[in-house]
Amino acid sequence: MIRSMTGFGDAEADTPAGRLRIEVKTVNHRFFNANVKTPHGFDRFEAAMTPVLKEQIARGHVSVFLSIDRSVAAASGAPEVDLDKARAYKSALEALSSELGIGGEPDLAMMARFTDLFRAPEGDRTAGVEVEDVVALTRRAAEACAAMRLQEGERLEADLRERLSAIRVHLDTVERRAPERLVEHRDRLREAVSELSEQVDVDEERLAREIAFLAEKWDLNEEVVRFRSHIELFSEALDGDGSDPVGKRLGFLVQEMHREANTIGSKANDAEVGQASVSIKEEIERLREQIENVE
């Protein structure tokens, strides 16, 4: 089980200061990197928010946005009225009525349309908001983000396993073809020696030594064995419970797979083995692209 580094989660809660909302977004990054943005006065909560994020998110660039909707504030946080400005508006409206001969008197409904008459209460903008409230809200948003990363990780895992299966098929081709190409080369070599020497009989002992030399030079058994070991370790990482980050480990294994694939290609000396090596490297590149988004 793996986790993607791409995710989103949010949470809301009502407080005396208004309705708090926290959004957590994550994207690829080699390490844990948090960027917290808060309204004026709420920056004092940032130090308490970061450790909570780390509980759920081990790796990735984490963007956190805390916002507050004061329109739903409790009565103790109700906006104050700018009475001086209200009186000025009332006088201006009465002057318009008098000068232009327009009937009607300013009433409460009309005055309420002037939103600039209402202002946030003076003092601490975070009054009524405790650090425990922000921590709990951050944890809920981070958990929601982690759940999404886990769901996305399931889709990534399915694709990674498909890539591994394709690599196994190509490795089977290499393993099957490797000894066959030696036999074919031995036969070609025997025929070439016979033609060049114009002899019916070939020095089998000398030919055997030459074949033994080529067999050692072209041997792919060690590379195939190591490659299969890397695949098994990769699979074991995918089979984990998802509690520990595995992205860096998978990246290392892909690097080692690529090294073995290059060696197989350099020792191929055969069209079918060479093509299998190319196909393996193509699948490895797809693995590399996918694991860049694995936590």
* DSSP classification of residue 4: B
Please say if the pLDDT value at position 199 is more than 90. Answer: no
Question: Up-side HSE of residue 238: CA atoms within 13 Å toward CB?
Answer: 22
Domain holding 164, by residue range, is: 154-291
* DSSP classification of residue 40: T
How many structural domains compose the chain?
A: 3
170 CB-contact burial (10 Å; exposed 0-12 / middle 13-18 / buried 19+)? buried
Question: Would you say residue 169 lies in a domain?
Answer: yes
Residues 273 and 204 in one domain: yes
Residues 274 and 241 in one domain: yes
Separation in Å, CA 148 to CA 11, 55, 119, 167, 291: 14, 15, 39, 29, 17
Question: Would you say residue 58 lies in a domain?
Answer: yes
Residues 177 and 256 in one domain: yes
Residues 137 and 220 in one domain: no
Question: Would you say residue 97 lies in a domain?
Answer: yes
Residues 222 and 191 in one domain: yes
Angle at 241 between CA 238 and CA 242, to 5 degrees: 75
Report the chain's mean pLDDT, rounded to a whole number.
86
Residues 188 and 256 in one domain: yes
Question: Would you say residue 271 lies in a domain?
Answer: yes
Residues 85 and 65 in one domain: no
Are the C-beta atoms of residues 165 and 264 closer than 8 Å to each other? no
Question: Would you say residue 232 lies in a domain?
Answer: yes
Residues 159 and 194 in one domain: yes
Residues 265 and 142 in one domain: no
Are the C-beta atoms of residues 105 and 98 closer than 8 Å to each other? no
Q: How many residues does the chain have?
A: 295
Residues 143 and 163 in one domain: no
Give residue 162's pLDDT.
Answer: 96
Q: What is the pLDDT of residues 83-130, one digit of tens each?
A: 888 899 889 888 888 888 888 888 888 888 887 887 655 555 677 788
Question: Would you say residue 2 lies in a domain?
Answer: no
Give residue 75's pLDDT.
Answer: 45
Give residue 203's pLDDT.
Answer: 65
Residues 99 and 189 in one domain: no
Question: Would you say residue 177 lies in a domain?
Answer: yes
What's 25's domain CATH number? 3.30.230
Question: Would you say residue 1 lies in a domain?
Answer: no
Are the C-beta atoms of residues 85 and 174 closer than 8 Å to each other? no
Residues 94 and 196 in one domain: no
Instruction: Provide CB contacts within 8 A for 294, sequence distance 6+.
Output: 2, 3, 4, 5, 153, 156, 246, 247, 250
Q: What is the pLDDT of residues 122-180, one digit of tens each?
A: 555 677 788 999 999 999 999 999 999 999 999 999 999 999 999 999 999 999 888 88
